Amino acid sequence: MKTRIMEAMQRFSKAMFIPILILPIEGILIAFGNLFTNPKLMEVLPFLDNPITTGFGTILTGSLVSILTNLGLIFAVGIAIGLANKEKAIAGFTSLLGYLVFVNAMNRFMQISGILHEGESLQGTGQTMVLGVQVLDMGVFLGLILGIVTAIVHNRFIDTEFKGAFQIYGGSRFVFIVLIPVLILLSVALTFIWPFFQSGISGLGSLIQHSGSFGIFLYGALERLLIPTGLHHLIYTPFLYSSLGGVAEVGGQVYEGARNIYYAEIIDPNVKELSSSVVWDARGISKMFGLIGACLAMYHMAKPENKGKAKAILIPAAVTSFIAGVTEPIEFSFLFVAPLLFVVHAVLSGLGMVLFHLFDVRAIGPNGMIDFLLFNVPLGIEKTHWPTYILIGLMSFAAYYAAFRFLIQKFNFKTIGREDEGGETKLYSKEDYKEKKSKEVAATSELQGDFGLAPVIVDALGGAENIKTVTNCYTRLRLTVEQPEKVDADVLKQQTGASGVVIKDENVQVVYGLQVTNIRKAVESYLGVQTN
């Protein structure tokens, strides 16, 4: 039972990446649009004060903010696509139709039952407008529920076919036929059930908010501790996009979730200071500063003869973490050889967020320095207190460096540059990797053709027949396999450049960094050839 629950959670976790990967782009574009309408920036750069650039900025930010009020629909479609076993595009389209059916069915039932609020304002009533239809305020949870339900029905009935005159009602059309009564019944049931969940979520949100520094520490530490399982975004997503992360009225519109709130506040000139709920997205402190200190400590503690190799590995990893907020290459460099360091990393990450809260910082810093500068500098110090964020970051850098250096020396951890010759913990620099590949893969290069490393990866995963599904997130190739014991983690790390491999039952995660999308495409292409 425990294994099945973990597998279901990991599958749901992978499905959530479809909407989650897109939403940060929206924030960056909102910040970019704000550059063209920022009064302070216009004082410094007068040429921006013209109807063309200000109009462009207004249109860009105004159009993107509409996404924040329709997150339920976005998650419904994304989750359905992610959980569908086949015909994923059809599953997404069916989920869109199902979403429309559900909100209108709930509205009609609430109207018949006489529970629709008829006042001018819906704030505080537990009801809201969704696509112009008044329903219970379920926020992003509505999308999660409908995406899951649609995927279940889709996977169960997508292969159903009929003969004769009823043949046209098979497949995807039958899925929608079954889905309609399911969603209608669900809308009726949730009309009675959801208020209890709504009360529980509000109570949990209040408990977390009132727990102060402890709640923030627990949040920050758990978000990092779950990195190896790939379930870490199940911790932060509810805080970013639901009422758990706060509720605020901005420009006459009510927004739920830390990220939704500060996106709206960015473009509202009447907001003089960002909401304190921005703390739930302050995860960049360890990414931009803390792990850089860890890298410096690992370099200083490397054996003298290995410092050159350690530098070649650590500098690219540190730069990627600092600039883009991609941390897995660093984290997996010490996760398996020194788990204690990973626990310390999680603790220090949580403490960094606590300092963010105690210093009353309002800066936006979920990822790397590019995001940090684009979001905060144009908004100004008064609105974000961003210099204090830098101060906390420097403190985090010092704490990571001191802790990692002390623990590596005390326990003789085999971190980068300290491994025994030929030991399993050995990692390869880019130069080492190229040299090794030229010797080991040259004989098969003609066979590989345009597939790059895909044949080696597939073979290390137990062959094409052992692979059931292939997806990816920001930095990881995520797979499910028939027989996990066939996966050769050493080959994946030493011959394909993976910085880490996580095997949990039938779920396999291979960490490749930012190039993972190209790797996933190559693997899919190669698997297609193998199965044809």
> Where in the sequence numbering do the catalytic residues fall?
473
In angstroms, the first-to-last Cα distance of the chain is 36
Rounded Cα distance, 431 and 136, in Å: 58
3-state secondary structure of 355: helix
Q: Which tokens in the block code for residue 245?
A: 């992360």
3-state secondary structure of 479: strand
Q: What is the DSSP string of 245-285?
A: G-EEEETTEEEESHHHHHHHHHT-TT--S--GGGGGG-THH
3-state secondary structure of 103: helix
Q: Which tokens in the block code for residue 99?
A: 């979403």
Rounded Cα distance, 471 and 485, in Å: 20
User: How many of the other CB atoms lie within 10 Å of CB of 483?
Assistant: 11
Dihedral pair phi/psi, residue 138, rounded to 5°: -105, -5
Residue 9 CA, distance from chain mean position:
15
Dihedral pair phi/psi, residue 266, rounded to 5°: -60, -40
Dihedral pair phi/psi, residue 340, rounded to 5°: -60, -40
Sign of CA pseudo-dihedral 28, 478, 349, 401? negative
User: How many of the other CB atoms lie within 10 Å of CB of 40?
Assistant: 13
Rounded Cα distance, 420 and 436, in Å: 19
Spell out the alpha helix ranges (H) of 69-171. 71-83, 88-113, 140-157
Q: Which tokens in the block code for residue 35?
A: 């550059």
Q: Which tokens in the block code for residue 204?
A: 């949990």
Q: Which tokens in the block code for residue 491?
A: 């080959």
Please give the C-alpha separations between residue 250 and each of 34, 56, 264, 272, in angstroms, as whole numbers.
Answer: 16, 22, 7, 12
Element of type H or E holding 508: strand 507-511
Report whether 395 contacts 355 (CB < 8 A): yes
